[in-house]
Structure 1
Amino acid sequence: MQLKHFFTLLFTVIMLCINAQTKTNEVLFTVDKTPVYVSEFLRVYNKNLDLVQDESQKDVDEYLSLFTTYKLKLKEAKALELDKKPSYLRELNTYRKQLAKNFIYDNKVTDELVEEAYDRISYEIKANHILIKIPENANPQDTLVAFNTISKLRERALSEGFETIRKEVHNGKSVFGEELGYFSGFRMVYKFENEAFNTNVDEISQPFRTRFGYHIVKVFDKRKSRGERTVAHIMVNIKENDTLGEKPENRIQDIYKKLNQGDAFEDLAKQFSDDRNSASKGGLLSAFSSGQLSSPEFEDVAFSLENIGDVSQPFKTKYGWHIVKLHAKKLIPPFQDIKPELEAKVKRDERSKLIDDALTTKLKAKYNVSDNQPALSYFVSLLNDDYLKGTWKLPKDFKSDSPLIKIENLQFTFKEFGIYLQKTQRGVNPKSTFKSIVSEKYNTFLNKRLIQYQENHLEEENEEFANIVNEYRDGLLLFDLMETTIWNTAKADSLEIQNYYSKNKEKYMLPERVDAIVASATKQKTLKRVAKLLQQDMSLEDIKKLVNNNGEVHVVFTSGIMDATHQAFPNKFEFKKGISKIYKHNKAFIMAKVKEVLPEKIKTFEETKGLIISDYQAYKEKKWVEQLKEKYKIVVNQEALNKVKNQIKN
């Protein structure tokens, strides 16, 4: 889903309210004679008053305009029968299932797992492991071989040393001996995480199995989480064909010398950092925790800084050269602050299996379903060796109509479970007994039916759940409508888009730019000297050798094609060929040698195609809504609207 589509869907969902209206509600307006009630409008308005960022949307008339437009679109979507599309129904069903989990699972079990997760993320473990890789559905013989192999490797590791054995046996195919570094909760599969956190430092775990195979893990260290850091940085890219002809490590060292000479970190970041996203903010980055960035080197340096304001020496990562300044440090937040985030992670994690088990136990009690099922002996008698081969079929004299289990008013017969047995016979452990196979299959069958029954009746039992599902239902419908009618025009309306560009070229201008060399220094007299040298066409390297002497950096150069918004230029910099005057900028001084002024020009269609398509879609949507207003007549009850306005004012 594209980002713009997501925000449109989000806004649509915000606009919705679906609770059934009683006949006593006063009608606020009608869309093609379909009533929309005052209570619905007030509920939506009050619900979303704090969410809208545009103050105009808080005005009742403006909000009513948005709301009627939404109703028009919804009317058109249903007229086009988009609510009957298989893809729409599938996505709605997927969302409904996902949402249901938040309403039906056992909170006690979830809370215990969330508390455990908080304890896990509060620490970081350093560990290595050896893995004998086998498939999840490996046969018993292969499983036993893998277990015996990992057990023998553990015995050797205890006597010969874990690292010696790990390096010796690793082949990257069937056996993996890997360094894992430090990790915290949620970084590994849950079974592995459990074993690692339950193994003492300097000890080797017993063999254990995950979906990848059999492991042993050695824990080398356990430490409190490093928490979170907020830093600023100055970055110099590693560029090919740099126009300055200087190495990035030399440039970062020049900047570092200026720091040591007393220049402010934030000012130097604004002037010289190649990270344009952070340069304008003095190099400031968003807060991050250990393992969150894709550069361990950067993290290690950031976490090594102890005191607020500490600055690192220049260092290299795969992204370039950096200098880092520590702005803030924070430990793991209090439990209550991150409990909702942890709960969401737990429900997506393997931990959810424990939640499922607790749920089915609760549902059995709720619907008075007994664990005792005497009919299972009949199904055991039906199985034979064909089941182990995956070729078993129900016998002709199968008692398909006999009652099996009842969940409230829903009766399941032998037929449903018999068909389930037949469909799920592949992958059965050939050493399992028929009794254990039937028992395991029945438990899975029953648990799925219990959860499905609860989900199917959740809207009847929980009004909040019903409302949210209905909101999403209409939001998804409008998304499909917008995608069908407006957003896919890039393919269908290529000629119209070209015509729109031709008629609106003045909207897509490339600003005036200069090809220039910009010199920055803390003293004006330095720049006066640099200006004379630039006028003599002296190379930048020669100028730096003359001006930056005695190990000190007095001038730093930036060059290339830049527009007026470039960080190197002050707001009132004059774009004029030649040597500029000296300007005060970011607590320093700059001057430039402008080699060429590149005039403002219209961007080509290809240069700004994305923006043109977006503008064209907005234009098309506006015309389309006008057509909908003609197709579906809107009649506003002015008396009711006046009452709404008075109620909101009071």
Structure 2
Amino acid sequence: MIRSGLTIILLCIGWAVSAQQDPVLMRINGKDVLRSEFEYIYNKNNALAGVEQKTLKEYVDLFVNFKLKVAAAEAAGMDTTRAFREELEGYRRQLAKSYLTDGAVSEFAARQVYDKMKANNRAGQVRVSHIFKYLPQTTTSGALRAVEARMDSIYTALQKGQADFDTCVRSFSDEKKSFWISWLQMPTEFEDVVFELQPGEVSCPFFTPQGAHIVKVLERKEILPFDEVKSEIVRRQTRRHGMDKGTEALVEKLKKEYKYTIDKVGMDELLSKDSTDKKLFVLDGKEYTGKMFAPFAAAHPWGVQRQLDGFVMKTVLDYEYSRLEQKYPEFCMLMQEYRDGMLLFEISNREIWERVPSDEAGLAAYFAEHRSDYHWKKPRYKGIVLHTTTKRIGKQVRKFLKSLPEEEWMNAIRLTFNAKTLQVQAEQGLFAFGDNAYVDKEIFKKGETEPMPSFPFTTLLGEKVKGPQSYKEVRGLLVGDYQNYLEERWIAQLRAAAKVEINQEVLKTVNNH
């Protein structure tokens, strides 16, 4: 009882210390927000280039609005959809990569490979063409000897000048196109030959696990700087060896951290009999058995020792992957930020962005109520500018258009006056001073113009207006204003239904503790 009581006291002390280190800053609808989360978002957004910095008070309001929108998305079940969960998990896997390797070791190993490439004449890239015959793993010895004899015959003909290399590629090769290679990209047997050749040189026949080859080097490129090829070297090492050095080093560290211990009896039985039901090892107090190993082995048809090594590595990395949020606060913050950002986008899209463009009635009503906000400082000309081949055509077009709605003018000109021959060039719209020289001269009485070639007669139809007569004339500006209006109304609704509590004393300690 004394021990149990002491444990409870220690736990309470730990919780109190933790709360002091990262206290609750606010509570939104009963959900706590710690100071660290607010600080992370506040500092990150205020550090963004080109973004207006906000005071602490201003940002508190923005943060609460943000959290209320996220809560609305959660209430709508947007965080439970399959698409959402898959995208979030995909981001987590990508983010986790840098946490599941020892970056220093990985870079050191990549640097060693890079230096070795340069020292061994394997730097850069080589473009090759080859006479290639594919050989499956089940090839008989007789078929192998036949291919070998054929390749020797071709090579002899090439050496004596009795055959052209390109012609042999087209006639005999299973691979017709040339291609670029760099180190760690092709089988070692292939690279050993190719990187020793200079442009124009042809190799002797040789074999790789893929088949038989005669290779000609066409050209070479120098290696790029290390920083530009480091990631690719690591990727190719991983593909060739199953694990990069940085990951191997991390696994060894994690084994010590999680007190990895093997069970020799189970391990020995597995290695001798290829299977066991016994315990193989313990990781952070959890036992892993031969039954748990079996599905991994079935999916990886390697030798038993390699299967066992792979299973151990995967187990260690999977366990570490499951604990990233607990071990690394910055990882947890990034995941929370991405998750909330996805939800914010989805709920905003549904409530505002998708709705506005098709809400013609709403746009019209908003415009009618705020028409004076869209008046211009100077009048504009609303109408059409007509350039015609003759003066008579100009009069006819003008008279004809007066009987039609404005939205039909351009189509009427196309069908009535330009159906057979082009007699009219027209430009319809809303013109401010400086938009059209002919409008400037005739309507605003400023500037000079020259007649248009082939359409020397110009006439106008329209009127001066002080402001837009329809919301469609200012749609681009109106859509943004209407979105802001809807968002403000939406936030007011969320605020009215929410319970928001802010600890002002903790707020004073933001970035000051």
Q: Give the shorter-chain TM-score range.
A: 0.5 to 0.7
CA displacement 1:263-303 (0-9 Å, x = unmatched): xxxxxxxxxxxxxxxxxxxxxxxxxxxxxxxxxxxxxxxxx
* Counterparts of residues 141-540 of structure 1 (less than 5 Å): 141=139, 149=147, 152-153=150-151, 156-157=154-155, 158-159=158-159, 160-169=163-172, 175-180=174-179, 190-191=185-186, 195=191, 199-204=197-202, 206-208=206-208, 217-224=215-222, 335=226, 339=227, 342-345=229-232, 349-353=235-239, 354=241, 356-358=243-245, 361-362=248-249, 365-366=252-253, 367=255, 373-377=267-271, 379-380=273-274, 400=277, 402-422=278-298, 424=299, 437-483=303-349, 485-486=351-352, 489=355, 497-503=359-365
Secondary structure of the structure 1 residue equivalent to 2:311: helix
Secondary structure of the structure 2 residue equivalent to 1:176: coil
How far the C-alpha of 1:403 sits from its partner, in A, is 0.9
Secondary structure of the structure 2 residue equivalent to 1:177: coil
* Counterparts of residues 507-586 of structure 1 (less than 5 Å): 574-576=437-439
How far the C-alpha of 1:51 sits from its partner, in A, is 0.4
- Contact 1:497-1:616 within 8 A present in 2 as well: no
Provide the rounded CA distance (Å) in 2 between the counterparts of 1:199 and 1:216: 12
- Contact 1:130-1:178 within 8 A present in 2 as well: no
Provide the rounded CA distance (Å) in 2 between the counterparts of 1:598 and 1:574: 15
How far the C-alpha of 1:591 sits from its partner, in A, is 9.3
CA displacement 1:200-251 (0-9 Å, x = unmatched): 32234655467xx8766432222458xxxxxxxxxxxxxxxxxxxxxxxxxx
How far the C-alpha of 1:468 sits from its partner, in A, is 2.8
- Contact 2:363-2:471 within 8 A present in 1 as well: no
Provide the rounded CA distance (Å) in 2 between the counterparts of 1:145 and 1:603: 82
CA displacement 1:301-350 (0-9 Å, x = unmatched): xxxxxxxxxxxxxxxxxxxxxxxxxxxxxxx7x65xxx3x6555556x44
Which of the residues 42, 50, 56 maps onto 1:53?
Answer: 50
Provide the rounded CA distance (Å) in 2 between the counterparts of 1:614 and 1:145: 73
- Contact 2:282-2:288 within 8 A present in 1 as well: yes
Secondary structure of the structure 1 residue equivalent to 2:216: strand
How far the C-alpha of 1:357 sits from its partner, in A, is 4.6
- Contact 1:510-1:602 within 8 A present in 2 as well: no
Provide the rounded CA distance (Å) in 2 between the counterparts of 1:445 and 1:31: 44
Letter in 2 for 1:202: G
Provide the rounded CA distance (Å) in 2 between the counterparts of 1:29 and 1:489: 32
Distance change in 2, residues 1:365/1:69 (3 Å): same
Distance change in 2, residues 1:504/1:214 (3 Å): farther
Corresponding residue for residue 627 of structure 1: 493
Distance change in 2, residues 1:58/1:443 (3 Å): same
Corresponding residue for residue 113 of structure 1: 110
Provide the rounded CA distance (Å) in 1 between the counterparts of 2:233 and 2:469: 53
- Contact 1:405-1:413 within 8 A present in 2 as well: yes
Secondary structure of the structure 1 residue equivalent to 2:177: strand
Provide the rounded CA distance (Å) in 2 between the counterparts of 1:147 and 1:439: 34
How far the C-alpha of 1:574 sits from its partner, in A, is 1.3
Q: Determine if the alignment matches structure 1 residue 22 to structure 2 residue 22.
A: no
Provide the rounded CA distance (Å) in 2 between the counterparts of 1:562 and 1:629: 49
Letter in 2 for 1:631: A
How far the C-alpha of 1:66 sits from its partner, in A, is 1.9
How far the C-alpha of 1:630 sits from its partner, in A, is 1.2
- Contact 1:150-1:215 within 8 A present in 2 as well: no
Provide the rounded CA distance (Å) in 2 between the counterparts of 1:514 and 1:463: 65
Secondary structure of the structure 2 residue equivalent to 1:218: strand
Provide the rounded CA distance (Å) in 1 between the counterparts of 2:438 and 2:123: 55
Greater Rg over alpha carbons, structure: 2
Corresponding residue for residue 8 of structure 2: none
CA-atom RMSD in angstroms: 5.7
Provide the rounded CA distance (Å) in 2 between the counterparts of 1:501 and 1:378: 77
Provide the rounded CA distance (Å) in 2 between the counterparts of 1:343 and 1:376: 38
How far the C-alpha of 1:102 sits from its partner, in A, is 0.8
Corresponding residue for residue 89 of structure 1: 85
Provide the rounded CA distance (Å) in 2 between the counterparts of 1:510 and 1:403: 87
Corresponding residue for residue 103 of structure 1: 99
Provide the rounded CA distance (Å) in 2 between the counterparts of 1:627 and 1:72: 10
Gap regions ≥5 residues in structure 1: 1-19, 226-331, 383-398, 429-435, 518-559, 565-569, 585-589
Gap regions ≥5 residues in structure 2: 1-16, 375-379, 389-424
Provide the rounded CA distance (Å) in 2 between the counterparts of 1:62 and 1:147: 81
CA displacement 1:5-63 (0-9 Å, x = unmatched): xxxxxxxxxxxxxxx972566665442354445554344333332205232x4333332
Larger helix percent: 2
How far the C-alpha of 1:156 sits from its partner, in A, is 2.1
Corresponding residue for residue 10 of structure 2: none
Distance change in 2, residues 1:38/1:452 (3 Å): closer
- Which range is displaced more, 89-98 or 21-30? 21-30
Provide the rounded CA distance (Å) in 2 between the counterparts of 1:52 and 1:26: 30
Secondary structure of the structure 2 residue equivalent to 1:190: coil
Q: TM-score normalized by structure 2?
A: 0.60
CA displacement 1:545-602 (0-9 Å, x = unmatched): xxxxxxxxxxxxxxx98899xxxxx9676134999xxx99xxxxx9965778798999
Corresponding residue for residue 127 of structure 1: 128
- Contact 2:434-2:440 within 8 A present in 1 as well: no
User: How many residue pairs align between the two structures?
Assistant: 418
How far the C-alpha of 1:618 sits from its partner, in A, is 5.7
Provide the rounded CA distance (Å) in 1 between the counterparts of 2:471 and 2:146: 68
Provide the rounded CA distance (Å) in 1 between the counterparts of 2:143 and 2:45: 61
Provide the rounded CA distance (Å) in 2 between the counterparts of 1:192 and 1:515: 72
Provide the rounded CA distance (Å) in 2 between the counterparts of 1:144 and 1:445: 40
- Contact 1:21-1:37 within 8 A present in 2 as well: no
- Contact 2:124-2:221 within 8 A present in 1 as well: yes
- Contact 1:201-1:222 within 8 A present in 2 as well: yes
Corresponding residue for residue 421 of structure 2: none
Corresponding residue for residue 415 of structure 2: none
Distance change in 2, residues 1:644/1:362 (3 Å): closer
Letter in 1 for 2:176: G
Provide the rounded CA distance (Å) in 2 between the counterparts of 1:42 and 1:92: 23
Provide the rounded CA distance (Å) in 2 between the counterparts of 1:165 and 1:216: 10
Distance change in 2, residues 1:78/1:514 (3 Å): same
CA displacement 1:129-182 (0-9 Å, x = unmatched): 455568xxx653399969975995586255434312112236xxxx331144xx
Q: TM-score normalized by structure 1?
A: 0.49
Distance change in 2, residues 1:405/1:483 (3 Å): farther
Secondary structure of the structure 2 residue equivalent to 1:163: helix
- Contact 1:166-1:177 within 8 A present in 2 as well: yes
